Structure 1
Amino acid sequence: MKIDFATTMGRALEQIRAGQPGEATRTIQSALAPRGDAAPERPAAPPAAPTASDRQVEDAEILEDRPHPRPAPAPRPAVPRRGLREVVDALSRLKPASPRQPRGPAQRPATVEGSRYERRSFSCRHGARDYMLYVPSALPEGPQGLVLMLHGCTQDPDDFAAGTNMNAHAERHGLIVAYPHQTRNHNAQGCWNWFRPGDQEAGQGEPALLSGLAREVAAEFSIGTERVFVAGLSAGGAMAATLGAAHPDVFAAVGIHSGLPPRAAQDVVSAFAAMRGETAGRRPAAIPVRTIVFHGLADGTVHPSNADAILAATRAEGSRNLDSGRTPAGRSYTRETVSSSTGRVLTQVWRIDGAGHAWAGGNRAGSYTDPAGPDASAELVRFFLERA
């Protein structure tokens, strides 16, 4: 019987995207073995039952496309085994799968009368990005600060603004908020490229681009560098950490939600290892600015040990305090705080019991949010605006 080999390799790719790398390996090995010695495939294990964290980003989604688990296809007939050259040729003919579109709101996030939420663009020799800018309806005492908000993979500025409710906090506290847009032209899944060496250092790549954007907006609204902040989720959180390490001359404080420390990886392979919490042999870059961290202890995408690695990267010295609490929705958490001799909080790490890879206290109008709290956006603003 003649078998369409391209279809066979297509199935292997589909198994990878479905979270079945072992089955994909067996499929490819079957194709690579000598002809005439067919080996039956093992049926795929059934997918795990959905849980309350079904809105989380899957493991590979930080860097590549992987759809939600779905029922395994029925077993197919054994595949005749082929040579390596034939495998390569077949793979070269396969069309890439269509990328999954971000799961977010159909409309822009709500704004109050008199406020501005407008699309803009920034460009420099390091590249160009569109961004959304929120300006409160009234600033009687002038802007109190600028927050650069970096969305996660598959998200966009509108989605992230809606999910974090940051515009409402900006309205209340007189903050300007910029939401840069990382499109699929810059990364296959719209992720910030925190794991690439060319996007990890001051004066180059995305750190130079984003710090330049922040400088331009801060200058427009006469905001001093002591009031310029950056925060992000997942890949956006990792890039926020990178900006804190690379450009302390621009950002006074950083917020990292479900992210990783700066220079935790040098390529895609080490990025997945870092996301799994495998950091042996790698020393993250130091973050010399004030830092606040949020991480769910049930995060299956970015291992919670990365929160500890970020804390170590801050190298903050001072008195340490550990307390705990529970949100009105019943979500418990612990909060580790490092304070200076004057009592100012230098670093704070929130470890949230039972929370997955989602913005704590967020709005379900946006993707990857966990309304059970605590309210990460409110705590970010409190931390950013704390006076010396």
Structure 2
Amino acid sequence: MANRFSDLLQQTSKLRGPLPSAAIDRLQDFTNFGANPGALAARTYLPANLPPSAPLVVVLHGCTQTAIDYDHGSGWSRVADLGGFALLFPEQRRKNNPNLCFNWFVPGDIRRDAGEAASIRQMIAAMIERHLIDRERIFVTGLSAGGAMAAAMLATYPEVFAGGSIIAGLPYACAANVPQALKRMRGQGVPDAKQLADQLRQASGHQGRWPRVTVWHGMTDATVDPSNAEATLAQWRSVHGLGERPDRIETNAGISRWAWQAADGRDVLVSYTVAGMGHGTPLKISGVDSCGVAGPFMLDVGISSTCQDARSWELLDPAIAVDTGSLRENAGWSLAEGAGKPTPWRIDHLPPPRPANAAGSQIGGVIENALRKAGLMR
């Protein structure tokens, strides 16, 4: 069934519009990083001002995307120029997945020291050795299938990462094959919080401090149901020993930020939900703390996950405001110091519970449903 599903996606990929063709390749090939059991490719970005013991951010693209596409849309290499940190872009190959999805639903690819997860770990180890990366400041982020793989990396190698960001993704080990993956994406059959927490703990046998995690999701995401964000938060609340209610709730122009804090006051689990946002990476493409280029699955919704994550991981000087101005495909970027401040968040009450998803049963046709959930039809 998995092969027939992949063949179908490959044959019908023309239904989806192409990604921007003007994306500039700012990345370099990265090879000879290990045995590479997952047979992945890799790209890197090293700013000219990279200092000794620099941080590293691992960036995982979504389905149908390449590392170039995702860097161009998200703006990570531009922010790395400002912050002076290194980037690693693991990249899927079509021979592994015709739709260029990381195989987050294949047990052998999300297990410690096996498959794609092991390949990414080997890339990180090679980056540390070749570029003297600070082992205490390694982070991972990803969109959709890349978000689910980011969750897998945080689960299988928690000792490696200081933090991570899961964008429109799914909980670790919530599916073990294609049919389960499609159901989970629709919000159906997701394991309960205890089962998810058990999967997370068993992934590595970790006994130390867990990485801090940020979860981003659009509330009108029709590809990966928002209930997956709720399940991901529950999975990580358990290992962090956190209660269901967040310690701080803030809202700003349809964006809600929930934060759970450790005993020392650090935010260890954060949720951003964006009203009216579909499936993709949230962008802000003009004004203060803006970066990226809007396109398929790169959505201008007034907040940049790239900028916000970089700030929460302390990769940017607080005095520096990223400001793209009127960025276009080949336009330059500008750096403004103290150029302005984001609209302040306000403390608000808990929003009403989100109604249970019933969309899955309303979509007719197995083929149409598979294509829609894979992002090939709208």
Normalising by the residue count of structure 1, what TM-score does the alignment of the two structures yield? 0.69
1:134 — aligned with what?
45
The Cα RMSD (Å) is 2.5
- Alignment pair present for 1:167 and 2:77: yes
Unaligned ranges ≥5, structure 2: 202-209, 285-291, 317-378
Compared CA separation, residues 289 and 191, structure 1 to 2 (3 A): same
The one-letter code of the counterpart of 1:383 is: S
Select 2:147's aligned residue among 217, 231, 237.
237
Unaligned ranges ≥5, structure 1: 1-16, 18-59, 67-95, 112-116, 327-331
In the TM superposition, residue 366 of structure 1 has moved relative to its aligned partner by: 4.8
The answer as to whether partners of 1:103 and 1:155 remain within 8 angstroms in 2 is: no
Compared CA separation, residues 102 and 180, structure 1 to 2 (3 A): farther
- Alignment pair present for 1:195 and 2:122: no
The answer as to whether partners of 1:256 and 1:292 remain within 8 angstroms in 2 is: yes
Name the SS of the counterpart of 2:228 in structure 1.
helix
The answer as to whether partners of 1:275 and 1:301 remain within 8 angstroms in 2 is: yes
Compared CA separation, residues 175 and 367, structure 1 to 2 (3 A): farther
1:320 — aligned with what?
247
2:135 — aligned with what?
225
1:120 — aligned with what?
30
CA distance in 1, matches of 2:124, 2:178: 28
In the TM superposition, residue 376 of structure 1 has moved relative to its aligned partner by: 0.4
1:310 — aligned with what?
232
The one-letter code of the counterpart of 1:358 is: G
Select 1:367's aligned residue among 278, 282, 296.
296
Pairing of 1:282-293 with structure 2 (within 5 A): 283-284=195-196, 285-286=199-200, 288-293=210-215
In the TM superposition, residue 109 of structure 1 has moved relative to its aligned partner by: 2.9
In the TM superposition, residue 343 of structure 1 has moved relative to its aligned partner by: 1.8
Compared CA separation, residues 280 and 152, structure 1 to 2 (3 A): closer
In the TM superposition, residue 110 of structure 1 has moved relative to its aligned partner by: 6.8
The one-letter code of the counterpart of 1:347 is: L
Compared CA separation, residues 297 and 224, structure 1 to 2 (3 A): same
Compared CA separation, residues 131 and 177, structure 1 to 2 (3 A): same
Compared CA separation, residues 98 and 299, structure 1 to 2 (3 A): closer
Select 2:11's aligned residue among 76, 80, 97.
97
- Structure 1 range deviating more: 299-308 or 371-380: 371-380
Compared CA separation, residues 366 and 166, structure 1 to 2 (3 A): farther
Compared CA separation, residues 162 and 303, structure 1 to 2 (3 A): same
Percent of aligned positions that are identical: 31
The one-letter code of the counterpart of 2:11 is: A
Compared CA separation, residues 219 and 145, structure 1 to 2 (3 A): same
The one-letter code of the counterpart of 1:196 is: V
Compared CA separation, residues 131 and 297, structure 1 to 2 (3 A): same
Name the SS of the counterpart of 1:128 in structure 2.
coil
CA distance in 1, matches of 2:159, 2:265: 23
Deviation string 1:203-253 (CA, Å, 9 cap, x unpaired) is: 111111111111111222212322111110000000000110001122221
2:178 — aligned with what?
268
Name the SS of the counterpart of 2:113 in structure 1.
coil
In the TM superposition, residue 342 of structure 1 has moved relative to its aligned partner by: 1.9
